[in-house]
Amino acid sequence: MSVTTPTSAPAPAPEQVTGRRGGGAPREGRLGRLDQAASPYVYIAPFFVLFFVVGLFPLVYTGWVALHDWDQIMGQGAFVGAQNFVDVLTGQDFWTALVNTLSIFVLSSVPQVLAALAIAGLLDHKLRAATFWRMGVLLPYVVAPVAVALIFSNLFADRFGLINTLLEGVGMEPVRWHSDRLASHVAIASMVNFRWTGYNALILLAAMQAIPRDLYEAAAIDGASGLRRFVSITIPMLRPTMIFVIITSTIGGLQIFDEPKMYDQFGRGGSDGQWQTLTLYLYELGWTRADFGRASAVAVLLFALIVAVGLVNFAISRRIASEESR
C-alpha cells in the first residue's frame, strides 16, 4: 500500500525543475523569473481558494451559527450560548436519529464488507472475461441513490411489495417494512449495500492482487485448502485496505440522507421517526422549521461523532499494525 511505485530511473535525475540556480534560465528577464516563481502558487490556488470559501469557512461558521438564535429567513438573532445544544440534546428526536443512524450504519457496513470480501475472492480467480465480471459487479454503482431508494421502497412495499409477496409465498408473515423500526433499517441498509458492495469488492480485489503469489504456493504445499488460504493469508494481508474501506464507509454512512429521505413520499423518516437519520433531522430543523441555529448544533454534534468514530478507527488500526510488527 505504498503511495508511490518505484521508478526505474537509471540516473538520479533531478526530480524537480524550477528554482534551480545557474544552468541557463530558460526564459531571461524579470518576467521569466516571475513566471517561474509565481506559477506553482497560481496553479494550486484554485483548490485552496475554493476549499476555504465552500469548505472550511462554512464548517467553522457552523459553530458560530449554532451559538445563536438563527432563523433561515430572519437571519441572525440573539447570542444564546449553548442553548441550541441543550435543546437538541434534551429532545427525544436527536437520540432517536442517533440510534437510527448508527443502526443503519452497522447494518450496511458489516454485511457490505463481508460480501465485498467474498466477491473479491471470487474475482481473484483466473477468470475468463475478467473485465466483464468486474464491470458486472460494479453496475449498481452508477445508479443514483435516489433511484435505488425508489426501486427498493417498491420492492419493500408493505402491500404488494415483491419481498413480502415472496415471504407470503413461503408461508411467512409479511414484514411491516415501513412501520417497524428495525425492518425499515434493514430495508434502507440494503439500498446502501446494493450500491456500494461491488465498488468495495473492486478495491479489495486490487489489494488482493498485490499479495505475493509465493505465500499461496507455500501454503498450498503445506496442504492448506483454498478457504484456509483465504482466511489465513488473504484477509490478514488485506488489513490496510480493509481499514481504508471501513473509514470511508464510516464518513459516508454517518451522513446518510438520500436513502432514508426517499424511503416514503413524506421524506421525514417515518411517522414516528423510525428511520430518521441525523442528516435528515438536520434538514428538518434547518429547512422545514427554518431553525438554522439548532440545525447547526446538530451539524456540530454530527461532526464530533464522525471525528470520534474516526479516532476509534485510527486507534484500532494502529493497534492492529503494532501487533503485526511484533
Partner 1 sequence: MTTTPVPTPTTTRGQRRAGSRARRDRGQRPGWVVYGLLAAVVLGGMFPLWWSYLIASHDSTVLSRTPFPLLPGGNFLQNAATVFDTVEFWRATVNSIIVSTTVSASVVFFSTLAGYAFAKLRFRGSGPLLVFVIATMAVPTQLGVVPLYQVMAELGWTGELTAVIVPGLVTAFGVFWMTQYLRQAVPTELIEAARVDGASMFGTFWHVGVPASRPAAAMLGLFTFVATWTNFFWPFIVLGPANPTLPVALQQLQAAHFVDYSLVLAGAVLATVPLLILFVVAGRQLVSGIMQGAVKQ
Question: Among residue numbers 76 through 115, which ones bind partner 1 (CB under 8 A)?
Answer: none
Q: Write out the three cell numbers for 134.
A: 468486474
Q: Are 113 and 293 in contact (CB under 8 A)?
A: no
Count of chain residues binding partner 1 (CB under 8 A): 118
Which amino acid, residue 266? Answer: F
Shortest reach from residue 251's CB to partner 1, in Å: 6
Interface pick for partner 1 out of 80, 141, 239, 268 (rule CB under 8 A): 141
Q: Are 112 and 191 in contact (CB under 8 A)?
A: no
Query: Which 154-193 positions form the footprint of partner 1 (CB under 8 A)?
Result: 154-155, 157, 160, 162, 165
Of 115 and 183, the one with the shorter C-beta distance to partner 1 is: 115
Contact between 123 and partner 1 (CB under 8 A)? Answer: yes
Interface pick for partner 1 out of 92, 265, 322, 325 (rule CB under 8 A): 265
Q: Are 195 and 143 in contact (CB under 8 A)?
A: yes
Contact between 65 and partner 1 (CB under 8 A)? Answer: yes
Closest to 242 in 3D by CA, of 192, 210, 200, 193? 200
**3 phi and psi angles, rounded to 5 deg:** -80, -30
Which amino acid, residue 198? Answer: G
User: Of 97-105, 106-114, 153-161, 317-325, which segment contacts partner 1 by CB under 8 A?
Assistant: 153-161
Of 183 and 310, the one with the shorter C-beta distance to partner 1 is: 310
Contact between 14 and partner 1 (CB under 8 A)? Answer: yes
Bridge partners (DSSP) of residue 291 are 71
Of 147 and 315, the one with the shorter C-beta distance to partner 1 is: 147
Shortest reach from residue 29's CB to partner 1, in Å: 11
User: Of 18-26, 99-107, 268-276, 316-324, which segment contacts partner 1 by CB under 8 A?
Assistant: 18-26
Q: What angle do CA 24, 26, 30 make, to 5 degrees?
A: 100
Of 107 and 116, the one with the shorter C-beta distance to partner 1 is: 116
Of 92 and 160, the one with the shorter C-beta distance to partner 1 is: 160
Output b/e per residue, 22-37; b: 16+ Cβ within 10 A. eeeeeeeeeeeeeebe
CA distance 245 to 264: 29
User: Of 82-90, 123-131, 170-178, 316-324, which segment contacts partner 1 by CB under 8 A?
Assistant: 123-131
- The residue count for the chain: 326
Query: Which 199-238 positions form the footprint of partner 1 (CB under 8 A)?
Result: 199, 202-207, 209-210, 212-218, 221
Shortest reach from residue 227's CB to partner 1, in Å: 12
Residues 6+ apart with CB under 8 A from 224: 232
